Amino acid sequence: MANKVNIVLVHGAWGDGGHWHSVIPILHGAGYTVVASQHPLTSLADDAETVRRLAESLEGPTLLVGHSYGGAVITEAASKCPNVVGLVFIAAFAPDVTESLGILLGRTDPPPGGANIAPDKYGFLWINREKFGESFCQDLDKDSITVMAAAQKPISGKCFEDKPTNAGWKNLPNWYQISEQDRMIPPATQQFLAERMKATTISLDTSHASLATRPKEVAELILKAAAELGK
Protein backbone atom coordinates (compact mmCIF):
# COMPACT_ATOMS: atom_id res chain seq x y z
CA MET A 1 0.00 0.00 0.00
CA ALA A 2 2.99 2.33 0.52
CA ASN A 3 3.25 3.16 -3.18
CA LYS A 4 -0.48 3.41 -3.84
CA VAL A 5 -1.99 6.80 -4.49
CA ASN A 6 -5.24 7.94 -2.93
CA ILE A 7 -8.18 8.39 -5.30
CA VAL A 8 -10.64 11.28 -4.97
CA LEU A 9 -13.78 10.98 -7.14
CA VAL A 10 -15.43 14.27 -8.05
CA HIS A 11 -19.04 14.27 -9.29
CA GLY A 12 -20.52 16.57 -11.88
CA ALA A 13 -23.79 18.44 -12.24
CA TRP A 14 -27.18 16.86 -11.54
CA GLY A 15 -25.70 14.28 -9.23
CA ASP A 16 -23.57 13.68 -6.17
CA GLY A 17 -20.93 11.25 -4.96
CA GLY A 18 -23.43 8.42 -5.29
CA HIS A 19 -23.01 8.51 -9.07
CA TRP A 20 -19.74 6.62 -8.47
CA HIS A 21 -21.47 3.75 -6.66
CA SER A 22 -20.51 1.11 -9.24
CA VAL A 23 -16.92 2.35 -9.61
CA ILE A 24 -15.99 2.65 -5.93
CA PRO A 25 -16.15 -1.09 -5.07
CA ILE A 26 -13.82 -1.91 -7.98
CA LEU A 27 -11.23 0.65 -6.91
CA HIS A 28 -11.56 -0.32 -3.25
CA GLY A 29 -11.24 -3.97 -4.15
CA ALA A 30 -7.93 -3.19 -5.85
CA GLY A 31 -6.61 -1.93 -2.53
CA TYR A 32 -6.87 1.81 -2.98
CA THR A 33 -8.07 4.43 -0.52
CA VAL A 34 -11.08 5.93 -2.32
CA VAL A 35 -13.24 8.88 -1.31
CA ALA A 36 -15.98 10.70 -3.21
CA SER A 37 -16.57 14.41 -2.73
CA GLN A 38 -19.94 15.94 -1.93
CA HIS A 39 -19.62 19.50 -3.18
CA PRO A 40 -22.42 22.06 -3.33
CA LEU A 41 -22.52 22.88 -7.07
CA THR A 42 -22.81 26.55 -6.16
CA SER A 43 -19.71 27.96 -7.88
CA LEU A 44 -16.44 26.70 -9.29
CA ALA A 45 -14.57 28.27 -6.37
CA ASP A 46 -16.85 26.67 -3.77
CA ASP A 47 -16.69 23.25 -5.36
CA ALA A 48 -12.91 23.35 -5.86
CA GLU A 49 -12.43 24.36 -2.22
CA THR A 50 -14.47 21.36 -1.08
CA VAL A 51 -12.28 19.06 -3.16
CA ARG A 52 -9.10 20.80 -1.97
CA ARG A 53 -10.03 20.17 1.64
CA LEU A 54 -10.82 16.54 0.92
CA ALA A 55 -7.49 16.01 -0.85
CA GLU A 56 -5.69 17.80 1.98
CA SER A 57 -7.17 15.37 4.49
CA LEU A 58 -5.46 12.42 2.80
CA GLU A 59 -1.88 11.42 3.45
CA GLY A 60 0.35 10.87 0.46
CA PRO A 61 0.04 11.35 -3.31
CA THR A 62 -3.50 11.71 -4.59
CA LEU A 63 -5.24 11.25 -7.94
CA LEU A 64 -8.25 13.45 -8.74
CA VAL A 65 -10.97 12.00 -10.99
CA GLY A 66 -13.70 14.27 -12.35
CA HIS A 67 -16.89 13.47 -14.23
CA SER A 68 -18.57 16.11 -16.41
CA TYR A 69 -18.49 19.48 -14.59
CA GLY A 70 -16.26 17.69 -12.07
CA GLY A 71 -13.50 17.99 -14.67
CA ALA A 72 -13.62 21.77 -14.31
CA VAL A 73 -13.54 21.34 -10.53
CA ILE A 74 -10.39 19.19 -10.56
CA THR A 75 -8.83 21.57 -13.11
CA GLU A 76 -9.25 24.40 -10.59
CA ALA A 77 -8.47 22.38 -7.45
CA ALA A 78 -5.28 20.67 -8.67
CA SER A 79 -2.95 23.64 -8.32
CA LYS A 80 -4.21 24.21 -4.77
CA CYS A 81 -3.41 20.64 -3.68
CA PRO A 82 0.34 19.92 -3.29
CA ASN A 83 -0.29 16.19 -2.94
CA VAL A 84 -2.20 15.83 -6.24
CA VAL A 85 -0.07 13.97 -8.80
CA GLY A 86 -2.47 13.32 -11.69
CA LEU A 87 -5.92 13.95 -13.15
CA VAL A 88 -8.49 11.67 -14.79
CA PHE A 89 -11.35 13.17 -16.80
CA ILE A 90 -14.49 11.07 -17.33
CA ALA A 91 -16.57 12.62 -20.16
CA ALA A 92 -15.55 15.89 -18.58
CA PHE A 93 -14.80 19.54 -19.09
CA ALA A 94 -11.16 20.64 -18.84
CA PRO A 95 -11.21 24.41 -19.31
CA ASP A 96 -8.25 26.73 -19.71
CA VAL A 97 -8.14 29.95 -17.70
CA THR A 98 -9.87 31.86 -20.50
CA GLU A 99 -12.72 29.36 -20.81
CA SER A 100 -15.99 28.77 -19.00
CA LEU A 101 -18.21 25.75 -19.51
CA GLY A 102 -20.47 27.94 -21.63
CA ILE A 103 -17.58 28.89 -23.90
CA LEU A 104 -16.55 25.26 -24.35
CA LEU A 105 -20.13 24.23 -25.13
CA GLY A 106 -20.26 27.01 -27.71
CA ARG A 107 -17.60 25.27 -29.80
CA THR A 108 -20.29 23.14 -31.47
CA ASP A 109 -24.03 23.08 -32.01
CA PRO A 110 -25.85 22.74 -28.68
CA PRO A 111 -25.90 19.15 -27.40
CA PRO A 112 -29.37 17.55 -27.46
CA GLY A 113 -29.59 17.26 -23.68
CA GLY A 114 -29.25 20.99 -23.31
CA ALA A 115 -32.79 21.49 -24.59
CA ASN A 116 -34.10 19.75 -21.46
CA ILE A 117 -32.31 22.00 -18.96
CA ALA A 118 -34.15 24.90 -17.33
CA PRO A 119 -33.43 27.23 -14.38
CA ASP A 120 -35.58 27.62 -11.31
CA LYS A 121 -36.32 31.01 -9.75
CA TYR A 122 -33.17 30.72 -7.62
CA GLY A 123 -30.81 30.44 -10.59
CA PHE A 124 -30.19 26.70 -10.30
CA LEU A 125 -30.42 24.49 -13.37
CA TRP A 126 -32.45 21.27 -13.51
CA ILE A 127 -32.90 18.57 -16.14
CA ASN A 128 -36.57 17.86 -16.84
CA ARG A 129 -37.18 14.66 -14.87
CA GLU A 130 -39.22 13.13 -17.68
CA LYS A 131 -36.34 13.81 -20.09
CA PHE A 132 -33.50 12.91 -17.74
CA GLY A 133 -32.85 9.48 -19.20
CA GLU A 134 -32.75 10.54 -22.84
CA SER A 135 -30.51 13.48 -21.96
CA PHE A 136 -28.04 12.09 -19.45
CA CYS A 137 -28.03 8.29 -19.46
CA GLN A 138 -30.03 6.87 -22.36
CA ASP A 139 -28.31 3.47 -22.16
CA LEU A 140 -28.89 2.94 -18.44
CA ASP A 141 -31.57 0.59 -17.09
CA LYS A 142 -35.00 2.05 -16.37
CA ASP A 143 -34.86 1.81 -12.57
CA SER A 144 -31.46 3.49 -12.40
CA ILE A 145 -32.71 6.29 -14.64
CA THR A 146 -35.69 6.79 -12.34
CA VAL A 147 -33.41 7.04 -9.30
CA MET A 148 -30.96 9.43 -11.00
CA ALA A 149 -33.78 11.68 -12.17
CA ALA A 150 -35.48 11.74 -8.77
CA ALA A 151 -32.23 12.36 -6.86
CA GLN A 152 -30.66 14.87 -9.26
CA LYS A 153 -28.83 17.73 -7.60
CA PRO A 154 -29.20 21.06 -9.42
CA ILE A 155 -26.23 23.20 -10.37
CA SER A 156 -25.98 26.97 -10.13
CA GLY A 157 -26.02 28.74 -13.47
CA LYS A 158 -22.94 30.59 -12.19
CA CYS A 159 -20.90 27.40 -12.59
CA PHE A 160 -21.33 27.64 -16.36
CA GLU A 161 -19.90 31.17 -16.33
CA ASP A 162 -16.97 30.71 -13.94
CA LYS A 163 -13.45 30.31 -15.32
CA PRO A 164 -10.62 28.54 -13.51
CA THR A 165 -7.83 30.64 -12.03
CA ASN A 166 -5.32 27.94 -12.94
CA ALA A 167 -5.51 25.08 -15.43
CA GLY A 168 -4.11 22.25 -13.34
CA TRP A 169 -4.03 19.82 -16.26
CA LYS A 170 -1.16 21.78 -17.82
CA ASN A 171 1.29 20.62 -15.17
CA LEU A 172 0.21 17.04 -14.42
CA PRO A 173 -0.20 13.69 -16.19
CA ASN A 174 -3.73 13.33 -17.57
CA TRP A 175 -6.09 10.57 -18.62
CA TYR A 176 -9.40 11.05 -20.46
CA GLN A 177 -12.44 8.90 -21.25
CA ILE A 178 -14.58 10.04 -24.17
CA SER A 179 -18.27 9.07 -24.30
CA GLU A 180 -19.13 8.62 -27.97
CA GLN A 181 -22.92 8.84 -27.47
CA ASP A 182 -22.82 11.79 -25.07
CA ARG A 183 -25.83 14.14 -25.28
CA MET A 184 -24.58 16.59 -22.63
CA ILE A 185 -20.98 17.35 -23.70
CA PRO A 186 -20.42 16.88 -27.45
CA PRO A 187 -17.99 14.03 -28.17
CA ALA A 188 -16.10 16.34 -30.54
CA THR A 189 -15.49 18.73 -27.66
CA GLN A 190 -14.28 15.87 -25.48
CA GLN A 191 -11.90 14.79 -28.23
CA PHE A 192 -10.57 18.35 -28.50
CA LEU A 193 -9.97 18.56 -24.75
CA ALA A 194 -8.24 15.18 -24.58
CA GLU A 195 -5.96 16.03 -27.48
CA ARG A 196 -5.16 19.49 -26.12
CA MET A 197 -3.94 18.12 -22.81
CA LYS A 198 -2.17 15.20 -24.51
CA ALA A 199 -4.07 12.80 -22.28
CA THR A 200 -3.93 9.04 -22.37
CA THR A 201 -7.37 8.49 -23.89
CA ILE A 202 -9.99 5.78 -24.28
CA SER A 203 -13.35 6.03 -26.06
CA LEU A 204 -16.49 4.19 -24.96
CA ASP A 205 -19.68 3.75 -26.97
CA THR A 206 -21.88 5.06 -24.20
CA SER A 207 -23.82 8.02 -22.82
CA HIS A 208 -22.70 10.89 -20.61
CA ALA A 209 -23.18 8.72 -17.52
CA SER A 210 -20.32 6.35 -18.35
CA LEU A 211 -19.40 6.02 -14.68
CA ALA A 212 -22.76 4.25 -14.22
CA THR A 213 -23.16 2.53 -17.60
CA ARG A 214 -19.57 1.31 -18.05
CA PRO A 215 -18.12 1.23 -14.53
CA LYS A 216 -15.66 -1.58 -15.27
CA GLU A 217 -13.98 0.26 -18.12
CA VAL A 218 -14.02 3.57 -16.25
CA ALA A 219 -12.48 1.92 -13.20
CA GLU A 220 -9.84 0.25 -15.36
CA LEU A 221 -8.75 3.64 -16.71
CA ILE A 222 -8.55 5.06 -13.17
CA LEU A 223 -6.58 2.02 -12.01
CA LYS A 224 -4.21 2.39 -14.95
CA ALA A 225 -3.56 6.00 -13.98
CA ALA A 226 -3.14 5.10 -10.32
CA ALA A 227 -0.72 2.28 -11.11
CA GLU A 228 1.43 4.48 -13.33
CA LEU A 229 1.54 7.22 -10.72
CA GLY A 230 2.41 4.73 -8.00
CA LYS A 231 5.55 3.47 -9.74
Active site residue 68: yes
DSSP element (H, E) containing 190: helix 187-196
Query: How far is the C-alpha of 183 from the C-alpha of 57, rounded, in Å?
Result: 35
DSSP codes, 192-224: HHHHHTT-EEEEESS-S-HHHHSHHHHHHHHHH
Three-state helix/strand/coil letters over 35-89:
EECCCCCCCHHHHHHHHHHHHHCCCCCEEEEEECHHHHHHHHHHHHCCCEEEEEE
CB neighbours of residue 198 within 10 Å: 11
112 secondary structure, DSSP code: G
Catalytic hit among 37, 43, 68, 179: 68
Q: Which residues are catalytic?
A: 68
